[in-house]
Amino acid sequence: MNAHRWNAFFLPVAVLAGPTAYATDYLTVAQAQEQLFPGAQFGEQTLKFSGDQRDRIKAAAGVRQRNDEMKVWRAEKNGKLQGWLMVDEVIGKHEFITYATAIGADGKVLGIEIMSYRETHGGQVREPSWRKQFVGKSVSDPFKLDQDIQNISGATLSCRNVMDGVKRLLVIQQMFLKA
């Protein structure tokens, strides 16, 4: 493979413009509800945790419950409990993530969806004027993704914080949400 051939597949960027933050929104709460419990009806409730309850959550889950409130949606279909949808956040060293977890009536995880993903090094993020340099250059006029759809490579981030968060949500479901 020589460099010439590769240029058709990978176009490096030279120009850098002003800083902006990197963030992607995948799902709204309503979209997460529909995806994780299709066709269900939802009842919203807010769990409030006392200091003592947060200590118990931490003791059982091994991770701290940061907030003293959590929104939960109870999912039902034809009056029958399907499970709960919980929306939670984790803050990592490099990322800020809002995610939805669906827990079934049997207490098992049905699905996890990242709702929004933000890199926290916003001040260092630089974005070029992507579009300009590609105008008229494509052979078959491929589908151009929006600027905010850029994908990040580089050091691989561990998703352990979200998996720990899900463990915490399972503890909360067992302690506070009854079938």
Partner 1 sequence: MEAVRRMRPALGTFVEAGASASAGLPALDAAFASLALAQQRWSFQDPASELSRINGSDGGWVAVHGDTVRLMRLARSLMLASGGYFDFTVGGAQIRRGSLPDHGGLPALERGSAQDVELRSGAIRLRRPVRLVLDGIAKGFAVDLACRAMRRGGATSGWINAGGDIRVFGDIELPLALRGEDGGIRPCGVLRNAAFASSRVSAARDDSFPADIIGPIGLAPQQGVWSVLARSAWRADALTKVAAIAPDDMRGALLARLGGQLA
Q: Does 55 bind partner 1 (CB under 8 A)?
A: no
- Residue 5 CA to residue 61 CA, distance in Å, equals 52
Q: Does 174 bind partner 1 (CB under 8 A)?
A: no
Among 60, 96, 119, 167, binds partner 1 (CB under 8 A): 119
- Residue 31 CA to residue 113 CA, distance in Å, equals 10
Region near partner 1 per CB under 8 A, out of 18-26, 40-48, 55-63, 169-177: 18-26
The encoded tokens of residue 19 equal 């800083």
Q: Report the nearest approach of partner 1 to the CB of residue 134 (Å).
A: 7
- Residue 42 CA to residue 73 CA, distance in Å, equals 6
Q: Report the nearest approach of partner 1 to the CB of residue 77 (Å).
A: 19
Residues 6+ apart with CB under 8 A from 129: 15, 17
DSSP states of 44-83 as a string? EEEEE--HHHHHHHHHHHSS----SEEEEEEEEETTEEEE
Q: Does 89 bind partner 1 (CB under 8 A)?
A: no
- Residue 109 CA to residue 119 CA, distance in Å, equals 26
Give the 3-state secondary structure of residue 85: strand
Is 157 or 175 the residue whose CB approaches partner 1 more closely?
A: 157
**Spatial CA neighbour of 177 closest among 82, 98, 90:** 82
Q: Does 11 bind partner 1 (CB under 8 A)?
A: yes
Q: Does 124 bind partner 1 (CB under 8 A)?
A: yes
Q: Report the nearest approach of partner 1 to the CB of residue 114 (Å).
A: 4
Is 2 or 78 the residue whose CB approaches partner 1 more closely?
A: 2
Q: Does 154 bind partner 1 (CB under 8 A)?
A: yes
Taking a C-beta distance cutoff of 8 angstroms, is the pair 169, 84 a contact? Answer: no
Q: Report the nearest approach of partner 1 to the CB of residue 36 (Å).
A: 11
Name the site residues for partner 1 (rule: CB under 8 A): 1-3, 6, 8-13, 16, 22, 24, 26-27, 35, 92-95, 97, 112-114, 117, 119, 121, 124-128, 130, 134, 138, 140-145, 147, 149-160, 162-163
